[in-house]
């Protein structure tokens, strides 16, 4: 039985990202107003823990590191008016948001992304299925993950039914097994936006969905992880998706059949969840395959997936 009760409350309000500035590679950042703060470098200037340079390292470091990161962000924001971002950028401490390249918050997870199918009542209905009696799980491998602005590859010759699915992603912060539902949200570090891009011919050619959900670049994620203390009730979030500016999905996580807490409890039954594990909690109605007539993605399309309080995840199709 998991005994931790640290969870998201230890984070104290962070908007975390993974960013890069040429010629450097991806690094751990925090969105602070109109700036992206390099948490590891900024932590070297102040007393306290030295923070790791990547998101997985921060999640592994635990509650004390999360509190310190939040303290650093508050200190930086309080001093932002007196900061010269040009000088900060030259020192590698912080950059204007428009100058950085945004990556998926966890660019290469240790495990596949855990995903749920038909977890919204209206989506199950548009799929012609009754509500499932238990969560339907499948996974997407790490090679599917891309970040904001990166192109969703159009799989020529494999499908003409490339579909969209906006989803709430829950990031585990405190690992555990056999987690009770009443304490499940204590294990969630934060939330992000996921687009579960699906190749429908491949998905439905057998009873196993894995291949149709696992093409390279088919899991856009981001732009940030917002810590769970900023979202006390994940079952009250509006989520939307538009293609080329035209609304396709518009719903609320209150329509989930299995809540985030129920999913964490069920998934962890007999199976250990670890820091950095991502659970994509299902999509609402409005997918292309369920529309009349059906609609699908094509090269040149731009997809915007949005969840309130988290942000907008934008990706072109190429």
pLDDT (tens digit per residue) in 50-62 = 999 999 999 999 9
pLDDT band at residue 5 using 50, 70 and 90 as cut-offs: very low
Give the pLDDT band (50/70/90) at residue 13.
confident
pLDDT category of residue 2 using cuts at 50, 70 and 90: very low
Q: What is the model's pLDDT at position 128?
A: 87
- Mean pLDDT over the full length of the chain: 94
| Residue 48 pLDDT class (50, 70, 90 cuts) | confident
pLDDT in tens, 128-159: 889 999 999 999 999 999 999 999 999 999 99
Residue 7 pLDDT more than 80? no
Q: Which residues, at least 6 apart from 111, have a Cβ–Cβ distance to it below 8 Å?
A: 142, 274, 276, 277
Q: Tell me what pLDDT residue 83 has.
A: 77
pLDDT tens sequence across 268-303: 999 999 999 999 999 999 999 999 999 999 999 999
Q: All domains of the chain, ordered by start, with CATH?
A: 8-103 (2.30.30.230), 113-316 (3.90.850.10)
pTM of the model: 0.95
Residue 164 pLDDT exceeds 70: yes
What pLDDT score does 298 carry? 98
Rounded mean pLDDT of 178-200?
A: 98
Whether 4 shows a pLDDT value over 90: the answer reads no
pLDDT band at 112 (very low <50, low <70, confident <90, very high): very high
Q: Is the pLDDT of residue 84 over 90?
A: no
Task: Name the band, by pLDDT with cuts 50, 70 and 90, for residue 8.
Answer: very low
pLDDT tens readout for residues 217-272:
999 999 999 999 999 999 999 999 999 999 999 999 999 999 999 999 999 999 99
Predicted local distance difference test score (pLDDT) of residue 11: 63
């Amino acid at each position: 039985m998991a005994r931790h009760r640290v969870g998201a409350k230890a984070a104290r309000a962070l908007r975390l990202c993974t960013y890069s500035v040429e010629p450097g590679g991806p690094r751990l950042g925090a969105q602070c107003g109109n700036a992206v703060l390099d948490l590891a470098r900024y932590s070297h200037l102040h007393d306290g823990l030295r923070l790791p340079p990547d998101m997985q390292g921060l999640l592994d470091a635990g509650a004390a590191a999360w509190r310190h990161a939040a303290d650093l962000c508050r200190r930086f924001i309080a001093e932002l008016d007196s900061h010269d971002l040009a000088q900060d950028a030259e020192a590698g401490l912080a950059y204007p948001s428009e100058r950085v390249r945004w990556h998926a918050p966890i660019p290469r997870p240790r495990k596949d992304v855990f995903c749920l199918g038909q977890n919204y009542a209206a989506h199950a209905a548009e799929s012609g299925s009754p509500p499932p009696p238990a969560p339907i799980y499948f996974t997407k491998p790490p090679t599917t993950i891309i970040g904001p602005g990166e192109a969703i590859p159009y799989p020529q010759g494999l499908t003409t039914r490339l579909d969209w699915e906006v989803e709430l992603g829950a990031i585990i912060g405190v690992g555990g097994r056999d987690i009770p539902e009443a304490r499940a949200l204590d294990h969630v570090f934060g939330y992000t936006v996921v687009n579960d891009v699906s190749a429908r011919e491949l998905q439905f050619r057998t009873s196993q969905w894995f291949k149709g959900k696992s093409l390279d670049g088919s899991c856009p994620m981001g732009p940030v992880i917002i810590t769970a203390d900023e979202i006390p009730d994940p079952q009250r979030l509006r989520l939307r998706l538009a293609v080329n500016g035209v609304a396709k999905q518009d719903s609320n996580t209150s329509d989930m059949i299995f809540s985030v807490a129920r999913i964490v409890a069920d998934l962890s039954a007999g199976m250990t969840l670890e820091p950095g594990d991502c659970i994509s909690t299902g999509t609402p109605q409005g997918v292309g395959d369920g529309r009349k007539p059906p609609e699908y993605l094509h090269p040149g399309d731009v997809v915007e997936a949005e969840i309130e309080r988290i942000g907008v995840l934008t990706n072109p199709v190429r």
